[in-house]
Structure 1
Amino acid sequence: MVETITAEQLRDMIDADEEFVLFDTRSPDSFEDWHVDGAENVEYSSDDDELVGEFDEDAIDAGDTVVTICATGNSASSFAEYLEREGDAHDVKTVDGGMEAWSMVYDVVPIATENDDLVVLQLQRRSKGCLGYVVGSKRAGEAALVDVTRATDEFLDAARAHGLKVTHILDTHIHADHISKGRELADRLDVPYHLGAPAATRDPDFEFDPIEPNAVVELGDVEIKAVHTPGHTTGMTSYLVDDEALLTGDTLFVESIGRTELQFADKDARDGARVQYETLHKVIMTESNDVKILPGHFSVTDDGEYIDVTPGQPMFSTVGYLWENNEILQLDEDEFVEHMFENLPSKPPNYEQVIATNAGEYEPEEGEESELELGPNRCAATAESAVADD
């Protein structure tokens, strides 16, 4: 009998390095756009209960464990039943909810801090490469949530597990790759929703509690200072947490830097790149060398491979390490500007509609949010790592 497993169980099988064969039954185009690392594409129709293309029965050895996955679970379930009827595999599992469920799998990872009152939790959305944060004070029992996604319960559960009550919600900027639920959650909890005051340059169609550059949000004795870091967008704001860690949003990543042309386009594109250069060199890289860089994203390829990070492990770097090893940061200004327009990855899927949603200009229909978000983020300026090995 075919066993149904959750996307989280699939994650655990991958992390435990279990041996299994993973078949993805979506169309070849959908598969090429985005799939789990190591998956093999076998298109199958759940409507007709038949293979669309060819399938090599020899791909499965007797006794193999087989897992099937598709967009939402329907065709994968049918294919799993086909394999159980026709194949040699005795252990067949199918992922409930398919890639849509996989897109919402999270890891909650503590970030070590010097201040024993400070809590920093990194929420890793492993399929899409989104990073959000819970920042809190143990003594005050208060927390701020940063860059909240649609998985609001993941953020709330992480805060509650550490005895923290959410008192503030912040976004680093108006996102282009995923739907922010920060504003909606703030309304539900009746707490302030913050963007950096410069986000007003994006003309958001909603009210928010602006944080002026260098202003501070206090959680007991823990301070979160707003640092205006334009470049990725004009309103981009990073958050300096107790002088220990800088939450950089889409400005600086562990393996790359943020692209600029999603907002800045045409004749403004190079101006945006120069703004990004100024931000990186005259703002972020002037912080102490040991300040941790906690980005808003990590890079996932269309093939599901992770660049310079391991899901479930802390994802951060330091100012000093990136200053020495990030090759883009070592370019002079003119070289930097030209580099920003060479070999850029393709833009995030549906990014214009996602921006409109996060700016309050568009209301997705029921079920549309999942479709708008499918696929990995593409907010970095490079498809490969820009950080040299030691």
Structure 2
Amino acid sequence: MTDPAGRSADEPHSIAPDALAERIRSGDPLTLLDVRNRDEFERWHITGDGIEAVQVPHTKFIQAQATGGVTDLVADLEDPIVAVCGRGEASAHAVGLLRDAGIDAKNLAGGMDAWAGLYVARELAVDAPATVRQYDRPSSGCLAYAIESEGEAAVIDPLRAFADRYVDDLEERDVKLRYAIDTHVHADHVSGVRALESRTGAEAVVPAGTRDRGLAFDDGVATTALEDGDELRVGDATLTAVATPGHTTESISIRLDGVLFTGDTLFLEGVGRPDLERGDEGADAAARRLYESLHGRVLELPDGTTIAPGHYGDAADPRSDGTYAARLGELHDRLGALSASEAAFVERTTNDLPPRPANHERIVAANLGRETVDDETAFELELGPNNCAIAD
């Protein structure tokens, strides 16, 4: 058995990335012992309900092996302990020392590389004329979707790192990919739309406003630009573009009967941040546009509409089946941002913002075709939390 990064998950005293993700999702208490350097830990580490993340550099374990005192390094930590490093090697050494000292510890097989390579597909329970599968990347909370009907499919907000995964999954079910759709110019991950077009011949689809942002691909691929109200037919299902600017000027949501795929407009725990496209100076105006999109477009839909977001964070609670979605009425009742006045909404979405996604400027440039990055670089650029949401 191997983890998604191709490394063995059958090593003694190890835990596979998917097993760790399930444990985090369940909320069971767990200590994550990160043995990378402090700057690596602060830039990105594993979080979640019930997780206590602690950083102790591997050099201290090497010193303790020579001088004794391994138990002193974890004296204040609660069992069980899962150790993690970049590739699972330094943490495996630390786990060996801990277990020799009688401490309940396991190693994350493949380390943070394998964690970033984990991608879980689950069927999303919806009352709609299509089958919907939600793709979940636990390391960043990125969500993508495959909508299937009568042997045809569309994929919404695909990640380039997992382009082959969508293709393989659809081929396994003998489903033809007709459309690869982005809801906006992503700032946290490299888009898989053009990779899917190249691999399958599917139609590459982006919001019409993407051209105004400087779409600059010169590879000859004909990209379909969706305007508000435009429709795409997938088998017996119809996908309709709904203009929802605010997070970015070109942002759209995609409506399927009974479901709204909101991209980065509306999340289970908040709304999209308004400062990524034009910085702090343009955040107020973008926040007002987001308010108008939410109140004039999204909240006009029936309360029973399933909201399928583009991301989730630690504050989001999954359904019992592990998927991330909620009824619109539930979100309206739960999220203060949806009942706030416009002035209060602008205030809460422009003040005390979290750090911007790592490498967001280069990721945007890649998604617009202004910068060419290979697969390895693309994977490295998007490592870390997405930070695209303003938690309520």
TM-score range, shorter chain: 0.7 to 0.9
Q: How does 1:81-92 map to 2 (within 5 A)?
A: 81-84=96-99, 86-89=100-103
Partner amino acid for 1:179?
A: V
Identity of aligned residues (%): 33
Task: Find the aligned partners of 1:2 and 1:266 in 2 and give their Cα distance.
Answer: 50
Which of 365, 374, 377 is the equivalent residue of 2:383? 374
Which of 55, 79, 83 is the equivalent residue of 1:41? 55
Partner amino acid for 1:334?
A: A
Task: Find the aligned partners of 2:375 and 2:233 in 1 and give their Cα distance.
Answer: 37
Q: How does 1:32-71 map to 2 (within 5 A)?
A: 32-36=42-46, 37-45=51-59, 49-50=62-63, 55-57=70-72, 59=74, 67-71=82-86
- After superposing the two structures, state which structure 1 stretch, 12-21 or 373-382, moved more: 12-21
Pairwise CA distance, 1:175: 0.3
Conserved 8 A contact 2:56-2:73: no
After superposition, give the CA deviation of every residue in 1:178-220 in whole Å (9 maximum; x if it has no partner): 1112211211111111012122121111252112221111112
Secondary structure at 2:338 match in 1: coil
Secondary structure at 1:128 match in 2: coil
Task: Find the aligned partners of 2:362 and 2:132 in 1 and give their Cα distance.
Answer: 31
Partner amino acid for 2:143?
A: L
Give the corresponding residue for 1:96.
Answer: 109
Pairwise CA distance, 1:18: 7.6
Give the corresponding residue for 2:236.
Answer: 221
Conserved 8 A contact 1:251-1:258: yes
- Go from structure 1 to structure 2 and tell me whether the alpha carbon gap of 1:331 and 1:190 turns closer, same or farther (over 3 Å shift): same
Which of 341, 349, 357 is the equivalent residue of 1:340? 349
Conserved 8 A contact 1:108-1:312: no
Secondary structure at 1:133 match in 2: strand
Conserved 8 A contact 1:245-1:294: yes
Q: How does 1:105-144 map to 2 (within 5 A)?
A: 105-115=118-128, 117-137=129-149, 140-144=150-154
Task: Find the aligned partners of 2:80 and 2:285 in 1 and give their Cα distance.
Answer: 54
Secondary structure at 1:38 match in 2: strand
Give the corresponding residue for 1:203.
Answer: 214
Conserved 8 A contact 2:167-2:200: no
After superposition, give the CA deviation of every residue in 1:66-104 in whole Å (9 maximum; x if it has no partner): 5421012232133234445x5224x76433321121122
Pairwise CA distance, 1:312: 5.5
Give the corresponding residue for 1:328.
Answer: 337
Conserved 8 A contact 1:43-1:51: no
Task: Find the aligned partners of 2:285 and 2:27 in 1 and give their Cα distance.
Answer: 46
Secondary structure at 1:144 match in 2: strand
Secondary structure at 1:56 match in 2: helix
- Go from structure 1 to structure 2 and tell me whether the alpha carbon gap of 1:252 and 1:14 turns closer, same or farther (over 3 Å shift): closer
- Go from structure 1 to structure 2 and tell me whether the alpha carbon gap of 1:153 and 1:12 turns closer, same or farther (over 3 Å shift): farther
Calculate the aligned-residue CA RMSD, in Å. 2.9
After superposition, give the CA deviation of every residue in 1:334-379 in whole Å (9 maximum; x if it has no partner): 2222222222111111111111111111223563223311211101
Which of 140, 155, 167 is the equivalent residue of 1:156? 167
Which of 173, 176, 179 is the equivalent residue of 2:184? 173
Give the corresponding residue for 1:249.
Answer: 263
1:260 aligns with 2:269: no
Pairwise CA distance, 1:50: 4.2
Tell me the number of residue pairs that the alignment of Structure 1 and Structure 2 aligns.
369
Task: Find the aligned partners of 1:310 and 1:101 in 2 and give their Cα distance.
Answer: 25
Partner amino acid for 1:205?
A: A
After superposition, give the CA deviation of every residue in 1:122-157 in whole Å (9 maximum; x if it has no partner): 1111121111001010xx211111111112233334
Secondary structure at 2:135 match in 1: strand
Pairwise CA distance, 1:112: 1.9
Task: Find the aligned partners of 1:268 and 1:65 in 2 and give their Cα distance.
Answer: 46
Give the gaps of 5 or more residues in structure 2: 1-10
- Go from structure 1 to structure 2 and tell me whether the alpha carbon gap of 1:92 and 1:360 turns closer, same or farther (over 3 Å shift): same
Secondary structure at 1:35 match in 2: coil
Task: Find the aligned partners of 1:167 and 1:186 in 2 and give their Cα distance.
Answer: 9
Secondary structure at 1:210 match in 2: strand
After superposition, give the CA deviation of every residue in 1:304-331 in whole Å (9 maximum; x if it has no partner): xx43336962211222222333211212
Partner amino acid for 2:124?
A: I
Task: Find the aligned partners of 2:375 and 2:123 in 1 and give their Cα distance.
Answer: 34
Conserved 8 A contact 2:70-2:97: no
Give the gaps of 5 or more residues in structure 1: 301-305
Q: How does 1:294-313 map to 2 (within 5 A)?
A: 294-300=308-314, 306-309=315-318, 313=322
- Go from structure 1 to structure 2 and tell me whether the alpha carbon gap of 1:41 and 1:114 turns closer, same or farther (over 3 Å shift): same
Partner amino acid for 2:144?
A: G
Secondary structure at 1:151 match in 2: helix
Partner amino acid for 1:77?
A: A
Pairwise CA distance, 1:282: 0.7
Task: Find the aligned partners of 1:340 and 1:17 in 2 and give their Cα distance.
Answer: 28
After superposition, give the CA deviation of every residue in 1:29-53 in whole Å (9 maximum; x if it has no partner): 322333223343221049x954699
Secondary structure at 1:227 match in 2: strand
- Go from structure 1 to structure 2 and tell me whether the alpha carbon gap of 1:190 and 1:330 turns closer, same or farther (over 3 Å shift): same
Conserved 8 A contact 2:181-2:193: yes
- Go from structure 1 to structure 2 and tell me whether the alpha carbon gap of 1:9 and 1:319 turns closer, same or farther (over 3 Å shift): closer
